[in-house]
Amino acid sequence: MAFDFDLILFLALGIPGLLLELFKQFSKISSSKTDPHSKSKDHGTFHFIWLIVICSMGASIHFVRLGYGLKIFSGTFSRCIVAFPISFALIMTGHLIRRQAIQQLGEWFTMTVRVNDKQPLIQSGWYAKMRHPSYTGVLMVLIGLGLLINNWLGLFGIVIPPTLIFLYRIYIEEKELRAHFGTAYAEYTQKVPAKLFPHLF
């Protein structure tokens, strides 16, 4: 079975996006002020996130190519006029939000859950709107890619498994942040109730 145009676009945007994300994350190691030798408290979720994202994308492509699932947009017009612009907008906006969120954390950004005694509680920029904007950006990219693959099963397969592991990671991060910042973080959660999407969740 030949690849259709939806899958070609999905791969053309998805694979470079994954490679770019890997480069961004590992390039931050040298600039982080947190001790890289300190014990990580992320319970292995960093590696598990990557495993889930890659496996969910691969499995979704596999099942879509086998003919499972229903098309989201069946007509060429609706795909070109509606699906593609929305997909590209979500992907580009997601990348932008994640990039800015990482920049706003600056030297305090880490790939794993670590805190430093001198680390401030960032409450400006995207962090004034949602507590975990970097994950918001990733989820927007995944939703955009899921729409681009143009299959309901593919969309759910690409978005839902990573969302679940992100929610678990957020639980771990917030537990550590509450322990580190105490009442300051409790006040921050009241000030910014949204974890991922303002006014939604």
Give me the number of domains the chain comprises. 1
Residue 106 inside a domain? The answer is yes
Residue 31 lies in a domain: no
Q: Do the Cβ atoms of 149 and 79 come closer than 8 Å?
A: no
**Rounded Cα–Cα distance for residues 86 and 154 (Å):** 17
Pick the range with the lowest mean pLDDT from 112-116, 129-133, 158-162, 181-185. 112-116
What CATH code is carried by the domain that includes residue 99? Answer: 1.20.120
Query: Does residue 181 fall inside a structural domain?
Result: yes
Residue 81 confidence class, pLDDT cut points 50, 70, 90: confident
Per the model's pLDDT, the better-predicted residue between 161 and 11 turns out to be 161
> Within a 13 Å sphere around the CA of 11, how many CA atoms are in the beta-carbon half?
9
What pLDDT is stored for residue 131 in this prediction? 95
Domain that holds residue 72: 5-19+43-191
81 lies in some domain: yes
Q: Which residues contact 181 (CB under 8 A, 6 or more apart)?
A: 121, 188
For residue 160, pLDDT beyond 90 = yes
Instruction: Tell me the HSE value of 56 on the side-chain side, using a 13 A CA sphere.
Output: 23
d(CA 195, CA 135): 9
pLDDT surpassing 70 at residue 153: yes
Residue 168: per-residue pLDDT: 92
Whether 196 maps to a domain, the answer reads no
Predicted confidence band of residue 32 (pLDDT cuts 50, 70, 90) = very low
Examine residue 25 and state whether it is found in any structural domain, yes or no.
Answer: no
Neighbours of 190 (CB within 10 A): 8
**Domain annotation covers residue 26:** no
What's the average model confidence in pLDDT over 166-195?
92
Mean pLDDT, rounded, of the chain: 81
**What gap in Å lies between CA 60 and CA 146, rounded to an integer?**
9
How far is 181 from 145, CA to CA, in rounded Å? 36
